[in-house]
């Protein structure tokens, strides 16, 4: 089987039905209402997190997707303070994302997906600078630990160097930069 055929068959496994099934599992475990579940389904960052193992052709994509979604949900629910940025995370933009595990599959597709997730996080930090300063919440852009433009450029270069039309069908780099990490009015729900 050629790489081209493999990439097509990998991507064919990620469908709206797959996403719906994964969000159904997550909704049951985290006791989400129908409204919360629908809001989750609309969240591009969450969908990307779940889609990466499918797009990369991981051996157990559903298991990996659900495990990473559990970490995502913990990062935005009642345990979110444990996932907040700290000065220890300033050394590498991927430090806070190290809990995301994609154990096998196409390393380049995983790298591209992680760069998109990091770009989403970076844009979120930029949007939240004033709020984070007011709330005394660590923000590496606000503290000057990160150079937004340099990191943005580096992440975009990575994303553009690894084409993935299937990933772009889920979320483009432009969309992810404007997408919120936390979906809807979620913080008010817990």
Considering just the CA atoms, what is the radius of gyration of the chain in Å?
Answer: 16
**Alpha carbons 94 and 155: distance in angstroms, whole number:** 11
CB atoms within 10 A of CB 178: 11
pLDDT, average across residues 150-172: 97
User: Each residue of 102-140: pLDDT tens digit?
Assistant: 999 999 999 999 999 999 999 999 999 999 999 999 999
Rounded CA-CA distance 46/117 in Å is 9
**pLDDT value for 82:** 86
List, in sequence order, every beta strand (DSSP E) within 6-110: none
Burial of 117 (C-beta count, 10 Å sphere; 0-12/13-18/19+) = buried
Q: Does the pTM exceed 0.85?
A: yes
CA-based nearest residue to 85, from 145, 157, 3, 22? 145
Q: How far apart are the first and last CA of the chain?
A: 48
The pLDDT tens digits for 60-119 are: 999 999 999 999 999 888 887 888 889 999 999 999 999 999 999 999 999 999 999 999
Whole-number Cα distances in Å, 64 to 37, 111, 166: 20, 15, 18
pLDDT at 183: 61
d(Cα 49, Cα 121) in Å, to the nearest integer?
A: 13
């Amino acid at each position: 089987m050629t790489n081209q055929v493999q990439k097509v068959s990998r991507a064919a496994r990620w469908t709206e039905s797959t996403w719906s099934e994964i969000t159904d599992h997550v909704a049951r475990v985290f006791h989400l209402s129908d409204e919360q579940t629908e809001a989750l389904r609309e969240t591009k960052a969450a969908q990307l997190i779940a889609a990466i193992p499918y797009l990369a052709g991981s051996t157990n994509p559903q298991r990996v997707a659900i495990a990473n979604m559990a970490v995502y949900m913990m990062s935005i629910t009642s345990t979110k303070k444990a996932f907040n940025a700290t000065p220890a995370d300033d050394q590498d933009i991927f430090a806070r994302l190290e809990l995301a595990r994609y154990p096998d599959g196409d390393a380049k597709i995983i790298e591209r997906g992680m760069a998109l997730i990091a770009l989403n996080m970076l844009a979120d930090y930029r949007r939240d600078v004033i709020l984070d300063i007011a709330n005394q919440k660590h923000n590496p852009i606000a503290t000057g630990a990160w150079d937004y433009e340099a990191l943005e450029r580096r992440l975009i270069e990575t994303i553009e160097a690894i084409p993935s039309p299937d990933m772009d069908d889920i979320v483009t780099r432009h969309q992810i930069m404007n997408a919120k990490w936390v979906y809807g009015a979620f913080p008010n729900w817990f």
